[in-house]
Every structure is written in structure tokens, then in C-alpha cells.
Structure 1
Amino acid sequence: MCMDHSYFQFLDSFYHVSIGTNMGNPLSPLISELFMSAFERKLKQENLLPRIWWRYVDDVFAIIKKDEIDSVLNVLNNRFDSIKFTCEKENDKCKLSFLDIELSTSVDNKIDIAIYHKPTDTLRTITSDSNCSMQHKLAAYHSMVHRLCRMKLSAQNYMTEYARIKQMAKINGFKGDLVDVLIKKHLDKINKFNLSTLFSQNTPEVERVRVGLPYIPQIMKKIKNKFREYNLTIVYTNQTKIMNLLGSTKDTIDSLHKSGIYAIQCPVCMCEYIGQTKRNISVRFREHCLCIKNKQGYRSALAFITCIEQRSFEYRHKQLTAGERDRRRAQIRRIRKLLYSEEQQRIESG
């Protein structure tokens, strides 16, 4: 049922997804994995699955005899008309890239592993003089060193990747010993885990609350230590993004067709009714009008006010004051709006 009712909007038109799973649907990864698992199990039962078949999401590494590649590919593609597999074979140098590794066949018919880099790689990361926190600057190097220390590389491939990471750090303005310090840190962690027989007990951990703040180097260190005392973890954010500068590429939705916090003003006394809805405002206002017409004050606070105080709220006086998906934030916005409205009325009344 969830997959049969998949729709999306483009240029004021609605489309229905009739085949497959659409991007952005939370169920799509689960459904795709279940489908592929059943697909592989069926082939294995029929003895049609290659002996070496390692899959990661939608990328598969398989070892097949050269004269059987086309026949295996035909078997895979003849199962479903909507799914087609493609094949990438090893090149003339007996090398094949799979995910972020490069596999090659050695002279003694063993598989040699190396780190794969795209030809378009520019060796660029966040530079050392960038206005970012140090943990963000070193994130890429921690990832590369983590992979370097844990993958089973030959001595030659290890030194090749080590020299590449050192060159990358130098190009981006970091000190020459940065990579060595990170490698020592990761190796110590690995050795400690392998040699120690002591593991952390199931003690209850104090849950830390994350707080998003812009990164300001002059004060962040003091604020971070102070927040840690109250079990608060600072997450650095940056609103200066290309997306924010260019704006959204989606179709603009009229404010009266959005959900959120809305205000309806009385044209006589200029008082405002402030409400909140998860549906679009036009639908909610029609419900208010119906309740006013049928004098159902128990179903609508606006209808109750209209009937008791004899006020007239007109359709043209409604407006969206804030659109908020998060329920907690929406409640805070609504309370602030109510307090501001009451304060404004108190000032006007003297």
C-alpha cells in the first residue's frame, strides 16, 4: 500500500510512480534490499549465482570465467524487464576498481588490494586557514588514515597511499607531521583493542544534547568547555551555503496552501485569532466557517468566540504567520505569537 501510493510534483503537475521505488521515500532502501536478497536467494537455489558474489547495495563483485560472462549476464537480465545489470571487466593490466579499492591479479594468481582514486581527483580538502573547526578540517584525513591502517595493503601500496596523503596535507597547508601523528593515533587504538582483554561494561551513559551554533574561533573553546559541564555538545553549523544563496528549485507553494501557524483578524476590532494546523490553511478556515455557520463552538475556538462575542472574521483577513514542520518549534512559535499579540493589545489599550 505504501509503495503503490507514491506521488511527486513537478511544474504544478502530479505524477505517480508505477515501477520501482522513488528517491526520498524512507521505505525505498528497505524494499530494495529485500528485493535483492530474494533475487539472490532464488538464483542460488537454481545454482545460477556465481560462486564468488559479493554485493554492497547495488554494486556487485563477482569472479566468473571469461567465457561465461555473457551467459551469466543474460540470466540476470532476463529475470525482470525493468532491471538491467551492466558489467565492468578487468582491464588489460588485470586491474578492476570496486567502490574505493582497486583489485589486481598478481603473478601467483592472488588478489592484490590498493586504494582507488578517480582520475579527476584534485587532492583538495578543507584548507588549514579555512574558518572551520579543526575537527571538520581533519575529518577527511582521519578517514583516509583509518582506511590506510585497517586495509590489508602490500608494502608498496601502503607507501604509495601514505605519500599521497602526505602530499594532500601539504597542498592544503597542514604541517608535515600531521599524517604521522594521525597514523600513530590510529595504530595505538588498534593495538590497544587487539591486546586488551578489558572492555567497557554496560554502564548507563549520560545522554548529551546537541546544540547547533555558528563557528566563532575566538569564543568557541570557552563556550564548548562550559557547555560540556551541562552535558551539551556543540555542533558547528554554517548558514552561508550555495543552496541558501541560490534559493530552492522546487515549485513555490502559495502560503494559504501551507500548514503551520496562522492568524485571522477581526475587521471590526482588529483582534487576532491565532491557530495552528497540520493541513493547509484554506481547508482549516473552511472548517472554521462551517462550525460558525452551524454554531458548533465546541469544535472550533474561532466559532466559540464568534458566537459568544458576536465578532465577524472574514475570509480575506487570514494569513500564514509561520510555517514549521517540527511540532515543538511550532508550539514555541505559537506561544511567542500569542504573547506578542497580547502585549501589543495591552499597549494599544493604554
Structure 2
Amino acid sequence: MLPFLDVLVRRETDGRLSHTVYRKPTHTDRYLRADSHHHPSHLASVSRTLINRALNLCDPQYIDAELDHLRRVLETNGYNWRQCTRLASSSCKRRPAVAERTPAFLPYVKGVTDTIGHLLRRRYSIRTIFRPPGQLRNLLRSPKDKDPLAVPGVYMIPCDCGSSYIGETRRNITTRLKEHIRSVKNMDTHTSAVAEHACSAGTTHFLRFDKVSVLAREKYFVPRKVREAIEISRRPNFNRDGGWALPPAWKPSLQSASAYNVAGLECDTVSAVCSTVFASTRESNPTPTQPPANESNEPTTSHAPYSTRDSRQRARWARNSSRQ
């Protein structure tokens, strides 16, 4: 016997090969129950798939036994066998091809969304795909703890001498750390600056691989390289180079950014650093296009933080002023 792709291949006594449906020994014969709150098309697909699989895979001498097994299983799960056979036979008929628009996805609520689906289908030729409502697996929390280093981005390996290594990777940071550890064990100073620092420092320094921190989560190449260069310029490190060459105009802003704890933000990206720094710069040094600050003792109203919408409004106000 050879199980392969749900097919159990047997060699008969006369040397012929016969085929039937294969099930694992641990199979429980549990399927979507007929009384569950799902769209009728989802319920019909259970019996239709099982019956058509039996008819397509089994040889004639095994079809009756397989159908008897399916009848017991489906009735146990609440299905009507006569209705199941009728659905399986109707699926063999070819439906005429209809040019359909982009499908609409709706949560299934019995008596509500199915009526909406019929309306969209008949009047607007929009196929409706029904999704089951909230499931138990979406309500329960996963028992597995998430690895905070299993993300791409910029990371820091500290050393007890006070300096650190700043690196970036498009893979999981955990994978890159394993490569650093292997390089340190093999004393491969050509491929890893971490190994070079460990060998040159001797026994007076200790690399803290147990305290590796994620400075920024970033999957895109350019923002990741820019953020690495920013962190290298802000922290004492033993990197071989400074990463990407940043414009000299960035240096005053990066020096001011050291006063902000940007690494604690949830959306820790290059834009978060720049927006924090440039917002403080605009408050201290207003541009000519900005309205002058209120220096009198008149009461002032509080404004929302500077945003992209405010910048567009200020640019539009500057263009109108220049035209006048």
C-alpha cells in the first residue's frame, strides 16, 4: 500500500493497481456541522467535495464502501444524505461564464447579508463572498510567546565597555545574531566587526548578546539603511564604517534628536525621528511663511501638533500671499 495525495494505492493479487481514498489513522471524521452559522454555500461544499472526491479517486469496487462511509460521517455531522447527493450531482453541470466585477466581501448574518448578496448578484452582477463571523481562534490568545527579535530592521549589540555595534538586516534579527555569534566563536574577523572587536579587546570586554535591542523595525531597504546611519552617528560604536553617507545638513537635527527618546515609539521609523526634530525647529525658528507668534498678553488658543495637513495649508497660504 502506498498513500499519496489522499489516494491509497494497492496492489491486487493479479498484479493490478487499485485506488481508493486514504485517511490518516488519526483522522476524526469531524467536519463543519450542518447547524453551524455559516453560509449555505460553505455547508454545501463539505458534502460536495467529499462525494466528488470518492467518485473521482476510487475504483468501481471501492465506490460503494466509500459512499457508505461518507453517509455515516455526514449524518453524524448533521447533514441530510439525500440533499448531499443532489448537490453533488448538480455540481457536475457547467455554468455559463458571466463577466463579473470585483467581488464584494461581507460577513455572513443569516437573513441579512444573504439578501444583500442576491441583490448585488442580480442587479449589478457583483459576486458576493461571505466570510464567517467571529471565530473562537480569533478570540483566544496564542499560547506561544512572540520573539521580539524575529523582525527585520536595525539592531544594537552592546558591549560592557560602553560602545556597541549597530547593524541592519532584511531578515529576522535573530538569524543575523546567530551569524555574529558563529563569527565570534570561529574568530572570523574578516566578515564580522563584532568578532574583530571581541578579538582585539581580549578578555577585558564582554559582548552582551543577551541584551540585544531593536532600534527600529523596518522592512524597506532605503529607510533601513538611513536609520542605521542615523543610529551610528548618535551612539558610540565600534562599526567599521558609518553606513550610508548622510547629508551634512542633517547633523544639527541629529544632534538635537539625541534629546528625544525616539526608540520607544511604536512606529519607530525615520519619519518619526525627522518629524520630532523638525517640529521643535519650527517652533524655535519660524519661517517667513509662518504667521508671527503672538507676543502680546492676549489669550491664545491651543493648536494641534504640526501635521502633514498643516504643511499643505501653510504652503497654500504662502502661494496666495505671493500672488497678491
- TM-score category, normalised to shorter length: 0.3 to 0.5
| Structure with greater strand share of residues | 1
Greater length-normalized contact order (CA 8 Å, ≥ 6 residues apart) = 2
